[in-house]
Chain A
Amino acid sequence: MNKVYLLDAKHISAQKPLSEEWTDAPIYPSGSLSSFTPSIDPDYAQCFAPNVRRRLGKLLKRALLASRTVMESSGIACPDAILTGTGFGCVENTEVFLEAMTFEGEDCLKPTNFMQSTHNTIGSLIAIETGCHGYNTTYTHKGVSFESALLDAFIRIANGHIRNALVGSYDEMTPHYRILLNRTDYPGNAYFGSETALSAILADEPSEGSKALCRIEAIEMIYGKSPQCIATALQRILCRAGRSFSDLDAIMTGLNADKANDAVYRRAEAELFSGKPLLQYKHLFGESHAVSGLGVYATAVCLQRGSVPGFMLVSDKKFRVDKLRDDLPAKTILFYNHCGGKNHALILMSSCE
């Protein structure tokens, strides 16, 4: 089995885009899911020719720029595979297309909106940009879409079918989509609703002359509501990686201040992760189906710097954020994410020393 490294990752999110500045000067958006915080977009006029820019929707611009930037920094011109995770895909274009179909009939539909209205538009566009004719798949599994894409890339690299892959996590928000979400049971009390664009390069070895962000040792995904299935997943992932529970320095969680969401983590902490420091990232990156990609990225950045910033540590049983805490040294972190308390994903990540 080949080792799998996360070479680099670039994001466009609620934090400063394409930058790791959030580790020293994080932005703390406030509010709840209904008071959604849009991503901070870079100046796309500096990045794309006008003819290219005019035809790309918001999410496609973000995905393309993040992918282009991470490929440059990783020294990979054309990845062997492109794996995409997205909850709702290009919602903005889908809305325009469906609205036109509803109000104007099916005779006068605009081709650009149609072409960009599918979930796999993102992966296709990146493939066209990079000239990648390799394996290309999009996963649309709500809050574990990214982990599904990551697992696919991980298995292929570990088994030697490919040497590297571009793995992305993308979701955007529109005003109409927000109204619909507010009518559902989607975490209404989360820190804040957000958008995600994260592109990462996985490979079987670090780039020449540079250090990878971290190593991904094992991934485990499981479906089930009982606490026992998370315990089973934990045992399996430690066994796969040849690790013991004592090797874990911390647990990165998807705590987001919503009662139902956090209860799953609270139970796991009490029954499985007792004594381990809990970490969180959604107070910085918000809540969206694709945000777990940013959680994996944030964990990887912490492992590369050798410590977790104090503001990512959960300070007490109420899961409050304490911005004044000291950094936590960490070499091995278990990333844990769940969606609806039924889909669980565990990712064991370690520093590249």
Chain B
Amino acid sequence: MEDLILELKSEIIKALNLEEISPNDIGDDDPLFGDGLGLDSIDALELIVLMEKNYGIKLTDPSQGRDIFRSVRIMAEYIQANRTK
């Protein structure tokens, strides 16, 4: 799980072009939206694409993202349980 969390942080930084942020700057349980990393709705779409492209997880209902993208840890747990690649 720890490896997946680290990998996910790097992928998020790359996909969202988060300049000046390193994986160490993102806490495992920090909120990704709002007060945490300050991501927005376009970033949510980018994360949906990332999940499908890297882990083969297709979120058919975008509102699922509200729960899944609460933090990197929650995202990693969901990926581990549902990944197809």
CB–CB A104/B17 < 8 A: no
Task: State the total of A-B contacts with C-beta under 8 angstroms.
Answer: 27
B53 and chain A: residue at smallest CB distance: A108
The bracket for how many chain B residues form the interface is: 10 to 19
The bracket for how many chain A residues form the interface is: 10 to 19
CB–CB A50/B46 < 8 A: no
Q: Which residues of A contact B19 (CB under 8 A)?
A: 50, 53-54
Measured in the bound complex, the distance between the Cα atoms of B15 and A110 in whole Å is 9
Interface residues of B in 1-58 (CB under 8 A from A): 15-20, 38, 42, 45-46, 49, 52-53
As a 0/1 sequence over residues 112 to 152 of chain A, the CB contacts with chain B under 8 angstroms (1 = contact) are 10010000000000000000000000000000000000000
* Interface residue ranges, B against A (CB under 8 Å): 15-20, 38, 42, 45-46, 49, 52-53
CB–CB A51/B42 < 8 A: no
Report if A107 contacts B (CB, 8 A): yes
CB–CB A54/B45 < 8 A: no
Q: Which residues of A contact B18 (CB under 8 A)?
A: 50, 54
Which 5 A-B pairs give the minimum distances between C-beta atoms? A108-B53, A54-B17, A111-B45, A108-B49, A108-B52
As a 0/1 sequence over residues 85 to 121 of chain A, the CB contacts with chain B under 8 angstroms (1 = contact) are 0000000000000000000100111111001000000
CB–CB B15/A51 < 8 A: no
Measured in the bound complex, the distance between the Cα atoms of B48 and A107 in whole Å is 11
A44 and chain B: residue at smallest CB distance: B19
CB–CB A112/B38 < 8 A: no
16 more CB-based (< 8 A) A-B contacts, given A54-B16, A111-B42, A112-B42: A50-B18, A50-B19, A50-B20, A51-B38, A54-B19, A55-B17, A104-B53, A107-B52, A108-B53, A110-B15, A110-B46, A110-B49, A111-B45, A111-B46, A111-B49, A115-B42
